[in-house]
Amino acid sequence: MRGSRDFWLFALTLASAASALVSIAAAETLLALAFLGWLLFRPGRIIWPSYTLPLCAFMATTVISLAMSPQPELGVASVRKFVLFAMAF
């Protein structure tokens, strides 16, 4: 059964790479399906880094302080940098 799952995940990933030459939307859709399949059928649990909770607390307090700020447009740049924090995972 595990070999069959691995085959389908590999096939979706390969199809995503091949379809990138024709359609970016199809490639991204197939890659998203492969990723979703991997998330659902992976053999182990997700192990979160030890800094996950402090990072989430930092992000939450940043958004709260931005929401309560008299000039929120000055703090929007720091919220945009959350994408960089997400890359740490």
pLDDT tens digits, residue range 14-43? 999 999 999 999 999 999 999 999 888 877
Q: What is the DSSP letter of 66?
A: H
First to last CA, the chain: 30
**Mean pLDDT on 70-75:** 87
What does the domain layout of the chain look like in residue ranges? 2-41, 52-87
The tokens 């182990």 sit on which residue?
44
* Percent of the chain scoring above 90 in pLDDT: 47
pLDDT at 1: 47
Buried b (16+ CB within 10 A) or exposed e, 45-82: eeeeeeeeeeeeeeeeeeeeebeeeeeeeeeeeeeeee
Answer yes or no: is pLDDT of 4 > 90. Answer: no
